[in-house]
Amino acid sequence: MNKVLLGRYLPGSSFIHRLDPRSKLVLSFYFIIVIFLANNWSTYLFMLFVVAGCILLAQIKLGFFWKGVQPLIWLILFTVLLQILFSRGGTIFWQWGPFSLTQTGIVSGIYVFFRFVLIIFMSTLLTLTTPPLEIAGALESLLKPLKKIHFPVYEVSLMLSIALRFVPTLIDEAAKIMNAQRSRGVNFDSGSLRQRLNAVVPLLIPLFVSAFNRAEDLATAMEARGYHGGEGRTKYRINQWHLRDTVSVVFFLLVTIVMILLRTW
């Protein structure tokens, strides 16, 4: 259970840590779009350098990023395999029915692999350097324009920040209940599919019940502290745009320009 890297935050004070969460969020999304511009080895190499530079700036060990890739490694390899086996063009090395091993296939397989890894690295960088609550806050202020079309921005961001806050609590709770039921003879790790499904019931019911209770307690506590809803509230966490945020935005614009140049080169 503790192996989950999702939503894990590593406190630090690097350049990347101190960036405004809004710019980090937007730039991470922007990066994912930019990476689709890459179409040859020089563009991929360049993107690799950009990501390596960001990781260096964040002062986080590379090991964490591999941990982020690990849960998805089979999906990545599967996609790469499909690319390799079903692409046509270039020299054909081997062919059997619909499957073929071609030069283009191998090259695009390698590209897909790098695309996946770079996207995961970048999103891991975002979650490792930004506390979940700041991500929720950033999302709220970015979604603010949607208020005009009566989108419940405030409610959605409140739900999001509460959900994020309770992810680790619920994981702990699940681990605790699992241990308690194991001690009562429940076997979670073996048996037929049916037995395994049955074994989940003594875990799920208490988990839901505890989530209901927790929600009720939390709602009561919020009301007791004078919560009436989103209207007319002030904010404690105020995002501030610094020079470093402008620098990062300019940097990514430059990256885009270089990418476009390298594409046609």
Partner 1 sequence: MDLSINFKQVTHTYQPESPFAHQALQGVSFTIQEHSYTAIIGHTGSGKSTLIQHLNGLLRPTSGEVVVNQQTITANTSNKALINLRRKVGVVFQFPEAQLFEETVLKDIAFAPRNFGMAADQAEKIARKAASMVQLPQTVLKKSPFELSGGQMRRVAIAGILAMQPQILVLDEPTAGLDPRGHQEIMDLFAQLKREQNLTVILVSHQMDDVALYADQVIVLEEGKVIAQQTPRELFNRPKWLRQHHLDLPHAAKFAFDLEKQANLKFEQLPLTEDELADELAKYLPKEGEQ
Query: 3-state SS of the chain?
Result: CCCCCCCCCCCCCCHHHHCCHHHHHHHHHHHHHHHCCCCCHHHHHHHHHHHHHHHHHHCCCHHHHHHHHHHHHHHHHHHHHHHHHHCCCCCEEEEECCEEEEHHHHHHHHHHHHHHHHHHHHHHHHHHHCCHHHHHHHHHHHHHHHHHHCCCHHHHHHHHHHHHHHHHHHHHHHHHHHHHHHHCCCCCCCCCHHHHHHHHHHHHHHHHHHHHHHHHHHHHHHHHCCCCCCCCCCCCCCCCCCHHHHHHHHHHHHHHHHHHHHHHC
Nearer to partner 1, 190 or 234 (CB): 190
Nearer to partner 1, 72 or 207 (CB): 207
The least CB distance from residue 40 to partner 1, in Å, is 35
**Residues near partner 1, by CB under 8 A:** 2-3, 61, 63-64, 67, 173, 176-177, 179-187, 189-190, 201-202, 205-206, 209-210
The least CB distance from residue 59 to partner 1, in Å, is 13
The least CB distance from residue 12 to partner 1, in Å, is 13
Nearer to partner 1, 88 or 176 (CB): 176
Nearer to partner 1, 200 or 258 (CB): 200
The least CB distance from residue 2 to partner 1, in Å, is 6
